[in-house]
Structure 1
Amino acid sequence: MSISFSDLTFSWPDGTPVFDGLNAVLSGTVVGLVGANGAGKSTLLRFVVGELTPARGSVTVAGRIGYLRQDLGLRVGSRVDELLGIAPQRAALARIEAGEGTEADFDTVGTQWQVEDEAVALLGRLGLDYVAGSVADLDRTVDTLSGGETVLLGLVAELLAEPDVLLLDEPTNNLDSAARERLYEVIRQFDGMVVVVSHDRALLDRADVIAEVRAGEIRCFGGNFTHYEEVIEAEQEAARAAVRDARGDVRKQARELVEARIKLDRRARYGQKMYDQKREPKIVMGMRKNSAEVSAGKLRNAHIDKLDSARENLDRAAELVRDDREVRIELPATRLYPGQDVIELAGLELANGPVVDLRVSGPERIALTGRNGAGKSTLLRQIAAAGPKVAWRMLPQRLDVFSEELSVFANVAAAAPHADAETIRGQLARFLFRGADADRPVAALSGGERLRAALATLLLADPAPRFLMLDEPTNNLDLPSLAHLTQALSGFEGALIVVSHDQRFLADIGVTRTLELTADGLVE
């Protein structure tokens, strides 16, 4: 099983090129598709399923395709049966059972008379019986589910269709550790080809091929993500050494050119002195002068050519050194003092049952954990509704913190009305929105770009936040950006509550307390 891209050429409507004559073949049991945010990973998946049409070239894939997209959580009005792809069959069954069925209804149902029970049973086998344990639960809407539950439902929908090729776009976003293990097991047992876009190292280490999307090209590496990193690091070390050697050669050639010019100038002055003193016949001195000028010109040109060649070698060597753009966040002075009150909740009953007591004071760093659907996102919204005692901002899981039709710049400007345009653009550049990128509408951004835009909107707001609530902030971030987000949060001097299932990230930002939300409330 394989996916072939032939002469694939595509640009966005604003003229931004994505691919120009891409030729590549993806093959393997599990292919990890990696690359920086905006490199075109999700775009490639959309070509495979036919959502996008290239300006030139083609995509070839055999068999049925399943596609788990990363923006399922944005479909807040959708029902569970719509996500599962069985809504038409359910509607047809309802009309048939009511005695109002038409021939078209019978065609829609086909042989799927037990589709509702089968869907509920499959949900149960994948650990989602608490989401839809009965046929009636299939009418629930996405906005009543957690992000992790929505992802798992989307996966169930694709499995119900029995695809030959399964495309997964950031499938572990919002999944708790138990759900991630179930996903890993589904991928292991899948009888076909899996192509996964992810920044989850544990998932990528289960791949047998890593395909890197970079500068409009695809390069495949046999082995898992750890092997890929080892290969890239070895190449980069060699590239950095080549740059050091090339720079040394440039300095050497520049020095020799200066020395040659000094020597030639001395010869020229000596020749002029001899000419002025007329110690030889005029015709002899003229021939000597012409010969010296020709020799000097050849010598000077030879040194200039060597210097130009050394500079070209340096440029070629430098091109091999990766200079990936990375988010560089400088949070404003937001210091809280030990013991300073931030929020206090007593006897707060969440919609799904737990009763919560919570007190946050000073620059605490709290990790909020719990299974998918436990109510973590709900608790963050309740904290916000209760009104923290200091300036605060919340990054919701669905990233609905801005106006989709407005540009990134316009959204940040609305959140920071007292900041001038130059300051806003300078700050946005730190989030990799430089020049025209800052003027793109939010609706046109990729998943990783949306997260960066949301972070910029919150963190550049006026007044500066002294209390941050972040709901799965690492979703869709590429690895360099994740490292810089971690660095920025490590230097944040305010209070922090983070919902995350990424244990490495939580450890790196130095959480001081871990609270698990259970049916009995918060357990420390």
Structure 2
Amino acid sequence: MSHTPAFLTCTDLSFAWPDGTPVLDDFHLTVGPGRTGLIGVNGCGKSTLLKLLAGELRPLEGRLSVAGTVGHLPQDVTLDTALRVDEVLGIRETRTALHAIEAGEATEENFTAVGDDWDVEERALATLDQLGLARIGLDRTVGELSGGECVLLRLAALLLARPDVLLLDEPTNNLDLRARRRLYAAVESWSGVMVLVSHDRELLERVDQIADLRDGEVRWYGGNFTEYEELIAAEQEAAERMVRVAEADVQRQKRELSEAQMKLARRKRYGQKMYDTKREPKIVMNARKRAAQESAGKHHTMHAEKLAGARERLDQAAEAVRDDDEIRIKLPATQVPPGRRVLTLSDLRLVHGASVTGEWELRGPERIALVGGNGSGKTTLLRTIVGQVAPVSGEALTHVPTRFLPQRLDAAVLDDERSVVENVARFAPHATNNLIRARLAHFLFRGARADRAAGTLSGGERFRAALAALLLAEPAPQLLMLDEPTNNLDLASVRQLTDALASYEGALLVASHDVPFLESIGITRWLLLDGELRPTTAEEVRESLWHA
């Protein structure tokens, strides 16, 4: 790292997608040294902002300044499976030259390639060891690693490069608890500028400040996520109190306006009576009538303005109250009767070595958590159940309509070129457009949002669209299998997912490292895949993964 303090600055920044969908407009941001947790609802532009800061996207307008070198870990880490570990770490050329010198090829070209980096292998191995990857070495290929190991390897490459600014987008995706513990330690030891986007509460407890991106602006909160929640709770309590005060003021102004109108009406009737009985000279009565009309007009205007002002204050107070929508749906067609056979695994041996001995069954509307370390075979088991991967031996039989939501939402689940409505229609070809739109509204895709192309959605929105497509499919799925469903979801979206699954009446099989999420969706049985499939508990999962 350089000795010049690093920082990030955005001034008058604007960005929109090619279809014209705005993301940021006249945006301002300054980030200095320390760990910043960037949070906000899905679709607010967090990942887009990181890509702009990393130089992977160009703003339409405005200025973006970065003092220092930048490293970026994106949400979805994709690496060429043929690459070697030392290539991913960016040390292949230096390492080759070093080995050549050690073998007696002391050429100028080799010395230039090595430079001052004579301890490159030691530093690389130490970095891998820091992240729990010591066993993979430098000569293996990416194709031999699990998804979680690929994430850690990409992070190792960034740590080895020692950038001044580190941008992390959902870095705990695909990581088991042991791997997360190592990532937490790496984050805590970071001394430069760090901006991290995450739904992982444990990770957000380790930041110095929270940047809340909402409605195109950033609000800053000092401290970690718990302190942020306490401040937000206090803010919301004050905002709701202001709404109640403003509502009372509106009602009072309505009453005063009504009372004023009644008084003016009585005066008008009295004046007309005086005019009709001609008790005073006509010129005097006309003068009084004009004065009364002017007074009535002024009183009406005054009270109307007070009412308008009270309503405006109510609108402003209401805007300060957060309204993070919840998914509320009814899915009776997904219901599975208690005891009905849903899934059978018989002497199943997976391609990567894990196995299910004898016969194992899932019956009725059970909710099963599938846990295990990175590379244990959880994803392989799910893909084997749906027929995407053939087993080495044995069989997996599903007895009800089944849908699978994978970690990576490929075209089989969500076609980026099609709108959200069109994607759902692929799975429900007999449903009318109006019916699909009505159902999508419950998944928070209302009006024009349902017409957006899937490729323009944020990670959380894409997941919500895919979940809608599968849950609204024909026939309705009575077994739903989810692979790391909370990846790429903000905290509000995790709550929305929990709401959606609360309405689901079928059987669930969920592979996840997110134990708090699994506990929130009413898991009835916990299974650990560690060579073999065996029963476990949430407590045993935490204990084995944190203290193994």
TM-score by length of 2: 0.87
Q: Is the 8 A contact 1:80 1:153 kept in 2?
A: no
| Correspondence for 2:494 | 482
| Correspondence for 2:409 | 399
Q: How does 1:116-155 map to 2 (within 5 A)?
A: 119=124, 122-130=127-135, 132-133=136-137, 135=139, 137=140, 139-141=141-143, 145-155=145-155
| Correspondence for 2:382 | 380
Q: How does 1:343-354 map to 2 (within 5 A)?
A: 343-354=343-354
**Among 73, 77, 90, the residue aligned to 1:72:** 77
| Correspondence for 1:256 | 256
What is the percent sequence identity of the aligned residues? 57
1:232-289: CA deviation from partner (whole Å, max 9, x where unpaired)? 1111111111111111111111111111111211221122122112222222222222
Q: Check 1:412–1:160 CA distance in 2 against 1; reply closer, same or farther (3 A cut).
A: same
| Correspondence for 2:399 | 389
Displacement of 1:323: 2.1
Partners in 2 of 1:478 and 1:426 — Cα distance?
A: 25
Q: Check 1:495–1:308 CA distance in 2 against 1; reply closer, same or farther (3 A cut).
A: same
1:479-518: CA deviation from partner (whole Å, max 9, x where unpaired)? 2221121122233221111111112111111111111111
Q: Is the 8 A contact 1:207 1:223 kept in 2?
A: yes
Residue identity matched to 1:309: G
Partners in 2 of 1:491 and 1:434 — Cα distance?
A: 20
Displacement of 1:95: 11
| Correspondence for 2:28 | 23
| Correspondence for 1:367 | 369
1:458-496: CA deviation from partner (whole Å, max 9, x where unpaired)? 112111111111111111222222112112223322111
Q: Give the secondary structure class of the aligned counterpart of 1:307.
A: helix
Residue identity matched to 1:368: L
Displacement of 1:178: 0.8
Displacement of 1:112: 6.3
Q: Give the secondary structure class of the aligned counterpart of 2:15.
A: strand
Q: Check 1:78–1:68 CA distance in 2 against 1; reply closer, same or farther (3 A cut).
A: farther
Q: Is the 8 A contact 1:28 1:208 kept in 2?
A: no
* Structure 2 alignment gaps of length 5 or more: 1-5, 388-395, 537-548
Partners in 2 of 1:76 and 1:325 — Cα distance?
A: 39
Displacement of 1:430: 2.7
1:436 equivalenced with 2:448 (yes/no) = yes
Partners in 2 of 1:375 and 1:129 — Cα distance?
A: 20
| Correspondence for 1:52 | 57
Q: Is the 8 A contact 1:363 1:495 kept in 2?
A: yes
| Bigger mean CA deviation after superposition, 501-510 or 14-23 | 14-23
Q: How does 1:70-109 map to 2 (within 5 A)?
A: 70-73=75-78, 75=79, 79-81=83-85, 83-86=88-91
Residue identity matched to 1:390: V
| Correspondence for 1:38 | 43
Partners in 1 of 2:486 and 2:334 — Cα distance?
A: 22
1:421 equivalenced with 2:433 (yes/no) = yes
1:447 equivalenced with 2:459 (yes/no) = yes
Partners in 2 of 1:20 and 1:46 — Cα distance?
A: 16
Displacement of 1:120: 5.5
Q: Is the 8 A contact 1:28 1:209 kept in 2?
A: no
Residue identity matched to 1:485: L
Q: Is the 8 A contact 1:350 1:379 kept in 2?
A: yes
Displacement of 1:116: 6.9
1:510 equivalenced with 2:522 (yes/no) = yes
Residue identity matched to 1:238: A
Residue identity matched to 2:241: A
Displacement of 1:34: 0.6
Q: How does 1:107-118 map to 2 (within 5 A)?
A: none
1:284 equivalenced with 2:294 (yes/no) = no
Partners in 2 of 1:276 and 1:37 — Cα distance?
A: 70
Q: Check 1:188–1:116 CA distance in 2 against 1; reply closer, same or farther (3 A cut).
A: same
Residue identity matched to 1:426: A
Q: Is the 8 A contact 2:326 2:499 kept in 1?
A: no
Partners in 2 of 1:404 and 1:275 — Cα distance?
A: 77
Q: Is the 8 A contact 1:26 1:211 kept in 2?
A: no
| Correspondence for 2:3 | none
Q: Is the 8 A contact 1:83 1:157 kept in 2?
A: yes
| Correspondence for 2:337 | 337
* Structure 1 alignment gaps of length 5 or more: none
Q: Is the 8 A contact 2:329 2:503 kept in 1?
A: no
Partners in 1 of 2:125 and 2:223 — Cα distance?
A: 37
Partners in 1 of 2:108 and 2:329 — Cα distance?
A: 61
Q: Check 1:214–1:339 CA distance in 2 against 1; reply closer, same or farther (3 A cut).
A: same
Q: Check 1:201–1:312 CA distance in 2 against 1; reply closer, same or farther (3 A cut).
A: same
Displacement of 1:10: 2.1
| Correspondence for 1:174 | 174
Partners in 1 of 2:129 and 2:417 — Cα distance?
A: 39
Displacement of 1:104: 8.3
Q: Check 1:463–1:164 CA distance in 2 against 1; reply closer, same or farther (3 A cut).
A: same
Q: Give the secondary structure class of the aligned counterpart of 1:246.
A: helix
Q: Is the 8 A contact 1:331 1:488 kept in 2?
A: no
Q: Give the secondary structure class of the aligned counterpart of 1:343.
A: strand
Displacement of 1:154: 1.5
Residue identity matched to 1:316: Q
Q: Is the 8 A contact 1:329 1:484 kept in 2?
A: no
Q: Check 1:207–1:456 CA distance in 2 against 1; reply closer, same or farther (3 A cut).
A: same
Instruction: Number of aligned residue pairs: give it.
Output: 518
Q: Is the 8 A contact 2:123 2:160 kept in 1?
A: no
Displacement of 1:111: 6.4
